[in-house]
Amino acid sequence: MEPGPPGSSGPAEPGPCLNGQRGADHAASASLQSAARTEPGGHSLAVAAVLPAGGCGERMGVPTPKQFCPILERPLISYTLQALERVYWIKDIVVAVTGENMEVMKSIIQKYQHKRISLVEAGVTRHRSIFSGLKALAEDQLNSKLSKPEVVIIHDAVRPFVEEDVLLKVVTAAKEHGAAGAIRPLVSTVISPSADGCLDHSLERARHRASEMPQAFLFDVIYEAYQQCTDYDLEFGTECLQLALKYCRTKAKLVEGSPDLWKVTYKRDLYAAESIIKEIISQEICVVMDSKEDNKHVGHLLEEVLKSELNHVKVTSEALCLAGRHLQQIILDQCYNFVCVNVMTSDFQETQKLLSMLEESNLSILYPVVVVSVHFLDFKLVPPSQKMENLMQIKDFSKKVKERNILLYGLLISYPQDEQKLQESLRQGAIIIASLVKERNSGLIGQLLIA
Ligand SMILES: Nc1ccn([C@@H]2O[C@H](COP(=O)(O)OP(=O)(O)OP(=O)(O)O)[C@@H](O)[C@H]2O)c(=O)n1
Ligand SMILES: O=C(CO)[C@H](O)[C@H](O)COP(=O)(O)O
């Protein structure tokens, strides 16, 4: 585990919506949030969450428990915590971890500046870990900052893509029905084998569902169920909704969830999770120019080519020399990709200014930020050897900013006089930029790529 947080103050916001919810969708989300906070009678609804994170991830087949496996150098559990803590109406998040991993967990909370988290000791089974989290919320312990919630969400630490709307749906349904859980259609048919290894019977797929997470419960219902249940349930049970049914006669409401709610279980799931995260943070690129509004700036030509090459990506542009006010806003809005176009100078002055702004913002605490420093090779103006000598400094800059989770790459675009040839080299440049943004390959930092 790497030590210490990279910055003293927190990131501007807890990170991008992993469901891509932005802009206009915020309004809908805000009204959903106020619905969760306020009951019809106007009283606030106290909601807490319990995250079992005490497993060893046997099926993953790696020594590190899967919840601590890195995705883009950040442990998986940190993404799940981020998804929950950005939902401000969840008051407390109780995480159950083994004594052995307690310090690791504390350092993750510190490094990624997670808030509203309490840690409890996990049990030897998932049900026991959940029970341990519930006990911490139930007991009015002296010096405990936790208080008993009305509704409790239970969510696996290894399901990082939980969206606010599904959390709200299960909480609202739990308030009404006592229990609720997310479900998905079955991908494969469930069959029951007999003792001799032959088919006994199969279930009709369309009539069954896969039970996923999150689930939510009236706290008193699920706590009662855990107190009543047998050791056998605690040892071998896999379904909290079933405990509520069996011991409190509470029939859970089932809520349709999204495919991204799946549980990271096998090694390939880590690759899938990484691809989803990369796709989400690659949806916007900001092209930063080194001069004031100038429509002839070659950066604008590059911006146009980027727009036509990457039609699913939002490409914006901003001038660095405008005291960076708009740029600050773009950083605050969590754009994780910058293309710094240097025309006026042949060195890294402008790129360094941009890097300083990014470092100050702490944007890169949660995700690696890509910066591509673009330079042009105009053989008439500056001899390439002189230009190259200047540009070699990128190796040192990139090493320094890598410590702050900023991935700096250099891109040299040839600038022929011929209009058509220029378009072709800009297109090549745009393809390189797209792949640097998409891949976030830290092995390529400090390289000068040529288009
Ligand atoms: N004693 C346990 C076992 C599991 N869990 C947690 O329950 C969630 C879902 O369980 P599962 O996917 O089965 O995790 P593991 O038990 O770690 O995986 P495996 O079954 O492959 O060993 C995970 O967040 C896991 O950390 C827990 O808190 N305490
Ligand atoms: O599937 C589930 C639905 O209740 C649970 O979310 C849980 O993930 C089951 O975990 P385990 O693999 O430990 O049985």
Q: Give 208-219 pLDDT, tens digit per residue.
A: 999 999 999 999
**Domain boundaries along the sequence of the chain:** 24-276, 282-450
Q: Measure the CA dihedral 133/115/46/221, to 10°.
A: -20
Residue 77: which pLDDT band, with cuts at 50, 70 and 90? very high
d(CA 369, CA 373): 13
The yes-or-no verdict on residue 222 having pLDDT over 90 is: yes
Pick from 18-32, 224-238, 413-427 the range whose average pLDDT is largest.
224-238
| C-alpha distance from residue 157 to each of 14, 79, 98, 137 (Å) | 18, 9, 13, 18
pLDDT value of residue 321: 66
Judge whether 402 and 359 are in contact, CB under 8 Å.
Answer: no
CATH architecture under which domain 24-276 falls: Alpha-Beta Complex (3.90)
The yes-or-no verdict on residue 114 having pLDDT over 70 is: yes
In terms of Cβ atoms closer than 10 Å to its own Cβ (0-12, 13-18, 19+), residue 194 is exposed
pLDDT value of residue 33: 52
Cα 212 to middle of ligand 2, angstroms: 7
pLDDT tens-digit readout, 377-412: 876 666 667 677 778 889 999 999 999 999 999 999
The mean predicted confidence, pLDDT, of the chain is 88
pLDDT value of residue 183: 98
**CA-wise closest residue to 450 among 376, 347, 340:** 376
Instruction: Kindly state the tokens that stand for 50.
Output: 């319990």
pLDDT value of residue 388: 74
> Which of 50, 108, 126, 161 maximizes ligand 1 atoms within 8 Å of its Cβ, making it the mutation to test the pocket?
126
Closest ligand to C-alpha of residue 264 is 1
The yes-or-no verdict on residue 87 having pLDDT over 50 is: yes
d(CA 16, CA 280): 8
CA angle 76, 79, 84 (to 5 degrees): 135
Handedness of CA 431, 437, 441, 447 (dihedral sign): positive
The yes-or-no verdict on residue 174 having pLDDT over 70 is: yes
Residue 144: which pLDDT band, with cuts at 50, 70 and 90? confident
3-state secondary structure of 115: coil
The yes-or-no verdict on residue 28 having pLDDT over 90 is: no
* 223 vs 12, residue with greater confidence: 223
The yes-or-no verdict on residue 18 having pLDDT over 50 is: no
pLDDT tens-digit readout, 103-113: 999 999 999 99
Cα 57 to middle of ligand 1, angstroms: 6
The yes-or-no verdict on residue 198 having pLDDT over 80 is: yes
The yes-or-no verdict on residue 68 having pLDDT over 50 is: yes
* Residue count of the chain: 451
Pick from 26-40, 121-135, 383-397, 403-417 the range whose average pLDDT is largest.
121-135
**CA-wise closest residue to 361 among 110, 80, 6:** 6
Q: Write the ipTM.
A: 0.94
Radius of gyration of the chain (CA): 26
Cα 172 to middle of ligand 1, angstroms: 27
Cα 221 to middle of ligand 1, angstroms: 23
215 lines ligand 2 (CB under 6 A): no
Nearest CA to ligand 2 atom 10: 238
Mean pLDDT of 23-41: 44
Cα 223 to middle of ligand 2, angstroms: 18
pLDDT value of residue 3: 34
> Which of 156, 161, 261, 262 maximizes ligand 1 atoms within 8 Å of its Cβ, making it the mutation to test the pocket?
156
Q: Measure the CA dihedral 131/137/139/140, to 10°.
A: 170
Indicate which atom in ligand 1 lies nearest the CA of residue 97: 28
Cα 167 to middle of ligand 1, angstroms: 21
pLDDT value of residue 2: 35
pLDDT value of residue 13: 42
Nearest CA to ligand 2 atom 12: 238
The yes-or-no verdict on residue 443 having pLDDT over 60 is: yes
Alpha helices in 310-418 (DSSP H): 325-332, 349-361, 384-391, 394-402
Mean pLDDT of 93-98: 98
Q: What is the CATH number of domain 282-450?
A: 3.40.50.360
Residue 153: which pLDDT band, with cuts at 50, 70 and 90? very high
Indicate which atom in ligand 2 lies nearest the CA of residue 239: 4
* 67 vs 24, residue with greater confidence: 67
pLDDT value of residue 92: 97
* 214 vs 312, residue with greater confidence: 214
The yes-or-no verdict on residue 20 having pLDDT over 60 is: no
**CA-wise closest residue to 51 among 150, 122, 145:** 122
Mean pLDDT of 250-265: 97
Omega before residue 214 within 30° of 0, cis: yes
Indicate which atom in ligand 1 lies nearest the CA of residue 59: 21
Indicate which atom in ligand 2 lies nearest the CA of residue 241: 4
pLDDT value of residue 25: 40
Cα 417 to middle of ligand 2, angstroms: 63
Q: Which of 14-18, 161-165, 374-378 has the lowest mean pLDDT?
A: 14-18
Cα 126 to middle of ligand 1, angstroms: 6
95 lines ligand 1 (CB under 6 A): no
The yes-or-no verdict on residue 181 having pLDDT over 50 is: yes
281 lines ligand 1 (CB under 6 A): no
Q: Which of 16-30, 136-150, 280-294 has the lowest mean pLDDT?
A: 16-30
Nearest CA to ligand 2 atom 11: 238
